[in-house]
Copies of this chain bind each other. A is one copy, B any other.
Amino acid sequence: MNDKKPIGIFDSGIGGLTVAKRLSQTLPNENIIYFGDTARVPYGSKSNSTVIEYSIQDTNFLMSKDVKAIVVACNTASSVAIPELKKHYDIPIIGMIESGSVMAIEKSTNKRIGVIGTRATISNKAYSREINSIDPTVEVYEKACPLFVPLAEEGWTDHKATYEIVEEYLQELKELEIDTLVLGCTHYPILFSVIQEFMGENVTLIDSGIAAARVVKEEIKNTDLENESDKNGVSEFYVSDIPTTFKKIAELFLGKPIPDIKKVNLETLTV
């Protein structure tokens, strides 16, 4: 079947644009609808029931655009809301935690995996639970890196301060001799080079956007939902608020200019 319907992605904010970028690279002819809930970011500090409610609203918005699959590009929503979303919607729903965990286990040879993320993701132990549910023999070491999000948003990818902060956060994981490191926050791929440089070439970094894009590719193939057009797909971007400097940061994350961003009124989002 040649299915031209778009793939939907939602995130609590703009971090998920790094996932949209990977999705476009992996599936260049697919159309994409992005929704960033910038008015209610961050989800990480909110209760599980609130995150589930917001995730259903975000998904309903994407469904109203007739999407054929949903990527939950927010680590908090991925860890909390996916079972509920799968109950409500009969299309493929792909999260970050499972995709990243599966790829990390594949890449690791010494079975020592590091995971970095926001305070919320790390204190939930979302990745270590997922990784150990697949392979209980893997040692998982988790570390919260709260300064990486604002560093990424500032675009300080090559600043002296960034090197100092990377060393402060990651020295411990380096000493633990991990061979694989999951970037468990959608902002972190912006800091890929400096993290790779510090960890060394023997450590494989897992960009969970790449991992999720791979799963999406498999799922839409298996469910016969591929867009077989030979033209490049079109992406549309929606947000619930447009804060100052939004466009600059969004373009840094997406890796190219965003032609048009549409604002969605929160009142129109329903459960």
Contacts and interface: CB of A to CB of B under 8 A. Distances in A.
Q: How extensive is the interface on chain A, given as a class?
A: 20 to 34
A120 B243 contact: yes
A146 B151 CA distance: 9
A161 B168 contact: yes
Number of this chain's copies in the assembly equals 2
Interface stretch (A21-29, A152-160, A210-218): A152-160
22 contacts: A38-B45, A39-B47, A39-B50, A41-B45, A45-B241, A46-B241, A47-B241, A119-B244, A119-B245, A120-B243, A120-B244, A123-B244, A123-B245, A146-B153, A147-B147, A147-B154, A149-B150, A159-B164, A161-B164, A161-B165, A161-B168, A164-B164
A150 B153 CA distance: 13
A86 to B, nearest CB: 27
A160 B150 contact: no
A154 B145 CA distance: 10
A65 B33 CA distance: 47
Interface of A: 38-39, 41, 45-47, 50, 119-120, 123, 146-147, 149-151, 153-154, 159-161, 164-165, 168, 241, 243-245
A41 B40 CA distance: 9
Contact of A46 (B39, B45, B46): B39
Nearest to A38: B45
Nearest to A122: B244
A161 B161 CA distance: 5
B119 A243 contact: yes
A8 to B, nearest CB: 23
Contacts of A147: 147, 150-151, 154, 161
Contacts of A119: 243-245
